[in-house]
Structure 1
Amino acid sequence: MRAKTKMIHGGITGDEQTGAVSVPIYQVSTYKQESAGNHSGYEYSRTGNPTRHALETVIADLENGKSGFAFGSGMAAITSVMMLFDSGDHIVMTDDVYGGSYRLMTSVINRFKLNHDYVDTSYPEKVEAAIQENTKAIFIETPTNPLLKITDLKKMAEIAKKHNLLLIVDNTFATPYWQQPLDLGADIVLHSATKYIGGHSDVVAGLVAVNAADLAERLHFIQNSVGAVLGPQDSWLLMRGIKTLGLRMEAIEANTKKIMEFLQDHDHVSEVYYPGLKSHPGHDTAEGQATGFGGMLSFDVGSGEKADNVLDKVTYFTLAESLGAVESLISIPAKMTHASIPRERRLELGITDGLIRLSVGIEDADDLIEDLKSALDL
């Protein structure tokens, strides 16, 4: 089954009892049991809900995994995955990581003595050098947020296997339409489903897919224990969003490539970050492990003042947190998504005050380019 077909026909697609072609929203907390402990598969909606289960089967199918899990947010998904590890364990993480993930690891998870080091995972030798006796996993974003760095997933899988580590991949930017990390050797893939998978700025959610039954059992135990579950209404919204994911990603990428070409030639733009650029250091790797380059693009205008000016002038780009929606969004990572990272650290990574991040939508590309031109030329 090809990708677009799988997004319509993958997982559980309807209701056998009524013939409904859309999975119903089971807005229910508990379920009748025939006798004590004897139930039809559902007993309490924290443990399992038919609508959520349908979504979980779809994400497992899309990522070619054994099992899927739906969480109340992307951060709930990451936190639950981190609970697979013990106090004293060590994680190697991508350095250019989402600000929320950075905050989680440095201000919350560290309290439980789960240790981590940030490494530029686009260099496999740096990853291997960071591995310690107590290292248990490698956590990767590719492409990264917001500098769009690329990590070679096959090489990371080789390193993980060599050292008996779990390989965890945040696949939010690429989406399962463009990239399937489990097929490349990852053990766990996760998404902020708030972004492209939902795609309409109307739901907050996280999704995880795993490649092994033992991992699925452990993660389900954690999810049920901490209650980090997605409600049925939001589960249904994500299933609806998934049906058009392929179409949206193709339209978004087409727009992004046109905007990339415009920004490359603009005198007021000093740098463009997009893996679809042939000059991007990770271009060949991205081309080899994904079928598309996505809809996230960052560019530098030289200063925070100039970046603020661009944001003040744009019309069709909405100034907002988040990404991956049908409408185009614009942000300054240093002041928004990555504000929780100390400025010195941001500058070390290359997240300057003048860096602008675009989440390109499905509007007419010419309108978006004209919008950016009028903002940059003033």
Structure 2
Amino acid sequence: MNFKRNAAVLGVVAVGAMTLAACGSDNNSASSGTTVNSAASKATCEGKESLSAAGSSAQKNAMDNFVATYIAVCKDKGKDVKIAYNPTGSGDGRTQFIAKQVDFAGSDSAIKGDQATAAKDRCAASDAWNLPLVFGPIAIAYNLDGVQGLTLNAEVLAKIFTGAITTWNDPAIAALNSGVSLPNEKITPIVRSDSSGTTDNFQQYLTAASKGAWTKGAGSDFVGGVGEGAKGSAGVSQAVAGAPGSITYVEKSFADQNKLSTAKIDSGSGGVALTGETAGKAIEGAKFKNDAVGDMTLDLNSIFATSEPGAYPIVLATYEIVCSKGYDADTAAAVKSFLTSAANEGQTGLAEQGYVTLPGTVQDKLNASIAAIAAIG
């Protein structure tokens, strides 16, 4: 079976179904059921009618919300719009963007290196920008009968995902879970089999926070050397749901959907459960690699290596990769309009889906960067 093709088709069907529902509805509501105030929206709904995008499966649920909200806003302005987003994985999204197969890409990792150079060619000699629309906490989801509220840390996670710790009652896990009865059961790591920004962020977290226990490096492909593979965020979460003794890294929204137990993370001040508030506390300390208007690539070590009490540190930034300049006028107008809606009214309801809504300082910088996107000529 061609899983990549099926994932793309499912993504189109999901967004298409939402498009039909929104267009046929008398009340303008986003996918969360929240009413949209179209009059307050700064989206112009100008430019070409249809936009295409592909990439991160982690942001798929957020993208559904953005699309439904944008359709509702534009309907009130007397315009019909269409957004086709295929959750084929961050690596594939970047590849399609470079090849001019989509108007923008969704990615949980910033475009960089050779890909950034190739994207510059795609963008008529202008840079591609990484614009974070949603912060998505990465849950450490596990399936362990009778064990709730498990606490882990970066060092233990590094050893689990390299095969140095293989059973749930290992002394290193027991030391973090005093009073908890841990079974003498094999640990089965479940990892992403496809190129994934979630994998990249998880491995960056292990690199930054595991005190040298993770020496494998990072990147969009899993490099730990152990584990069973599954495709996409839905794939790994469903695999854990069906496999006792298993553990994975996956966006909170997918862990919630599959009713998976999630671990607390100890960064030195005790176990911290994953909530919007605890993830938001980590994000408050985030720094950008560039303070100017434009590219908004984050210095993720400022999040991953935080020792702030009460902060949950495993948080990825979901980027939209766009041309800073290089679109034709109609495409530039449509991209700016959609992203403007997503960065503002589109944020409503994201917290209920397991994401962290944009902090005000990030939102202000994002709006300025979106406004700076320009057409050729």
TM-score, normalised via structure 2 length: 0.30
- For CA contacts below 8 A with separation 6 or more, give which structure has more relative contact order: 2
